[in-house]
Amino acid sequence: MKVAEMIRTTPARVDLDHDLLARVVEAAATCSQVCTACADACLSEDGVADLRRCIRIDLDCADVCATTVRVLSRHTAYEAAITRAVLQACVTACLTCAAECEQHAGMHEHCRVCAEACRACEELCRELLTTIA
Amino acid sequence: MKVAEMIRTTPARVDLDHDLLARVVEAAATCSQVCTACADACLSEDGVADLRRCIRIDLDCADVCATTVRVLSRHTAYEAAITRAVLQACVTACLTCAAECEQHAGMHEHCRVCAEACRACEELCRELLTTIA
Amino acid sequence: MKVAEMIRTTPARVDLDHDLLARVVEAAATCSQVCTACADACLSEDGVADLRRCIRIDLDCADVCATTVRVLSRHTAYEAAITRAVLQACVTACLTCAAECEQHAGMHEHCRVCAEACRACEELCRELLTTIA
Amino acid sequence: MKVAEMIRTTPARVDLDHDLLARVVEAAATCSQVCTACADACLSEDGVADLRRCIRIDLDCADVCATTVRVLSRHTAYEAAITRAVLQACVTACLTCAAECEQHAGMHEHCRVCAEACRACEELCRELLTTIA
């Protein structure tokens, strides 16, 4: 992705740590794609009936992460209240999705990859949250 | 919209108040569309340079409301943590957007309509939040 | 929804028929929500394994319709090429989804409602397409 | 991103070329983020009034590319009609956005980066289109 390049070239003042911001946006974009693909992979499993909750949480997490990418790509982030609320929703969605996928990670490799993507996104969102007043 | 009809016909048990849930989904869908259109209208104004903050908040609010519609349309809502976090983000985005648009409501009718849509969505999200354990 | 009100209050010149444009945006917003809810309802059915294709098409159609709402809410529509391509994708997604849901409409009322929403959206998109040079 | 890993671990049969599919998804995800950020950067420019068309096309292109990521992440792609229509819309949005951004690339580096991301996405979508019957 080219997130860092876009932060560097905006005329707006970006008060957040540029490197951390870029890593959060990339992690959220990755997580949104992985969750969409994991829901689809779960849907193809023989045991789809046992993966209903996993599919729903995957879809929720994909949507929340996509919105996180959008809001953080409007780099200015002087709307601290919105940025914070969206990051908090992203932390909640990612940790719920990670916990669910981890239960299937032994059987389904796509759930293992998805859990890892969710944990990575959750941690980076938490780190960014600590820097927003 | 046909939100109530879809809630009525799902085989899932929907623990939230059906009528309230339907009204929140409709208000969030309305708000997302109105915010997208308000950003576009602001962009066409002669004084676009003074409406930068309004445009950005409109775009953020449109994205957050769209995710709210998605998450609430997976009616089951047994992921109370995600539902709650998304509703809280929606309340924050809508009240920030309403406050900003209200400042331009005297000059720009699209901002007046947008502020009303944001207030309606904010209030319904708050009401739904009180019913989620 | 408040689509017509937003078209009336934008300072931009809107060359498309205002009433038709408003009806397309509302039909696409309705269809996007209904498809999201239909995918979720299918996921709750005992026979979920037989509804995999229906769920996938529902999710595709929900995404395409959501983008249609966005692009058409930037009312100016002087980007005729993008508007046309998006409307064509929307027609294709809606007719594919309608055809699939119609096969389950006898057994699942949510599929019947979804098929109707898709047909309504498809027809209005086609009508709008005929008016774009 | 982890697109290739998710394609490798799905139980579904993926008939499209796996490597090409992964590159299209990554290019569309990159383009969607870059277009969102370019619209925001344009909004911060002193000459925002001259960048209205650029901002609108950026926002359209961001939405179309996001839907492309979603539809292609449901890897099965046996809905050739929807996949094709979405790829065609993506080609149109990306080439329109590239052409617009190229006009500002000399003055605004974010427009140069955006034009490159659009061209890359457009070419990969075209290549994938030639492989879909």
Looking at the complex, report in whole angstroms how far the Cα of residue B79 sits from the nearest Cα belonging to chain D: 23
Burial status of residue C8 (CB atoms within 10 A of its CB: 0-12, 13-18, 19 or more): middle
A59 closest CB neighbour out of B64, B74, B85 = B74
pLDDT of the residue at A79:
86
For tokens 């490798």, what's the residue? D8
C37 closest CB neighbour out of B6, B37, B41 = B6
Q: What is the mean pLDDT of residues A7-32?
A: 96
Residues of A within 8 A of B59 (CB-CB) are 70, 74
Distance, CA of C56 to CA of D76 (rounded, Å): 9
Q: What is the mean pLDDT of residues A8-37?
A: 96
Q: What is the mean pLDDT of residues C2-31?
A: 96
Does B33 contact C3 at a Cβ distance shorter than 8 Å? yes
Residues 6+ apart with CB under 8 A from A126: A91
C44 closest CB neighbour out of B12, B41, B62 = B12
Q: What is the mean pLDDT of residues A89-105?
A: 98
pLDDT in tens, A31-80: 999 999 999 999 999 999 999 999 999 999 999 999 999 999 997 656 89
pLDDT of the residue at C30:
98
Q: What is the mean pLDDT of residues A16-41?
A: 97
Residue closest to B71 by CA, chosen among C69, D129, A35, D42: A35
Residue C54 · residue C111 · CB < 8 Å? yes
For tokens 């019947």, what's the residue? C112
Does A34 contact D113 at a Cβ distance shorter than 8 Å? no
Q: Please, which pLDDT band fits residue C133 given cuts at 50, 70 and 90? A: confident
As a whole number, the mean pLDDT across chain D is 96
Q: Which residue of B has its CA nearest to D36?
A: B59
Q: How many CB pairs under 8 A join A and C?
A: 17
Distance, CA of D123 to CA of C89 (rounded, Å): 19
Does A79 contact B96 at a Cβ distance shorter than 8 Å? yes
Looking at the complex, report in whole angstroms how far the Cα of residue D130 sits from the nearest Cα belonging to chain A: 23
Residues of B within 8 A of C25 (CB-CB) are 33
* Neighbour subunits, A (≥3 Cβ pairs < 8 A): B, C, D
Residue B122 · residue B95 · CB < 8 Å? yes
Q: Is the pLDDT of residue B77 over 60?
A: no
B10 closest CB neighbour out of C3, C5, C44 = C44
D10 closest CB neighbour out of A3, A40, A73 = A40
Burial status of residue C20 (CB atoms within 10 A of its CB: 0-12, 13-18, 19 or more): middle
Q: Which two tokens stand for residue C70?
A: 């966005």
Q: Is the pLDDT of residue B76 over 70?
A: no
Helix (H, G, I), strand (E, B) or coil at C38: helix
Residues of C within 8 A of B113 (CB-CB) are 2, 5-6, 9
Looking at the complex, report in whole angstroms how far the Cα of residue B86 sits from the nearest Cα belonging to chain C: 17
pLDDT of the residue at D77:
57
**DSSP per-residue codes, D20-84:** HHHHHHHHHHHHHHHHHHHHHHHHHSTTGGGGHHHHHHHHHHHHHHHHHHHHHHSTT---HHHHH
pLDDT of the residue at D63:
98
For tokens 């309705």, what's the residue? C30
Residues 6+ apart with CB under 8 A from A20: A124, A127, A128, A131
pLDDT in tens, C85-123: 999 999 999 999 999 999 999 999 999 999 999 999 999
Using a CB–CB cut-off of 8 Å, the residues of B that contact C are: 1-3, 5-7, 9-12, 25-26, 29-30, 32-34, 36-38, 40-41, 44-46, 62, 66, 69-70, 73-76, 108-110, 113, 117
Extract the residue ranges of chain D whose pLDDT is less than 70: 76-78
Does A37 contact D69 at a Cβ distance shorter than 8 Å? no
Among B25, B65, B71, B129, the strongest candidate for a mutation testing the A interface, having the largest count of A CBs within 10 A, is: B71
Using a CB–CB cut-off of 8 Å, the residues of A that contact D are: 1-3, 5-7, 9-12, 25-26, 29-30, 32-34, 36-38, 40-41, 44-46, 62, 66, 69-70, 73-76, 108-110, 113, 117
Q: Is the pLDDT of residue C17 over 70?
A: yes
Does B48 contact D48 at a Cβ distance shorter than 8 Å? yes
pLDDT in tens, B3-62: 999 999 999 999 899 999 999 999 999 999 999 999 999 999 999 999 999 999 999 999
Q: Please, which pLDDT band fits residue C22 given cuts at 50, 70 and 90? A: very high
The structural domains of chain A, ordered by start, are 16-129 (1.20.1270.360)
Residues of C within 8 A of D81 (CB-CB) are 92, 96
Residues of B within 8 A of D49 (CB-CB) are 48-49
pLDDT in tens, C24-63: 999 999 999 999 999 999 999 999 999 999 999 999 999 9
Distance, CA of C12 to CA of D133 (rounded, Å): 41
Distance, CA of B56 to CA of B69 (rounded, Å): 20
Distance, CA of B98 to CA of B57 (rounded, Å): 9
Among A48, A54, A57, A67, the strongest candidate for a mutation testing the C interface, having the largest count of C CBs within 10 A, is: A48
Using a CB–CB cut-off of 8 Å, the residues of A that contact B are: 53, 56-57, 59-61, 63-64, 66-67, 70-71, 74, 76, 78-79, 81-82, 84-86, 88-89, 91-93, 96
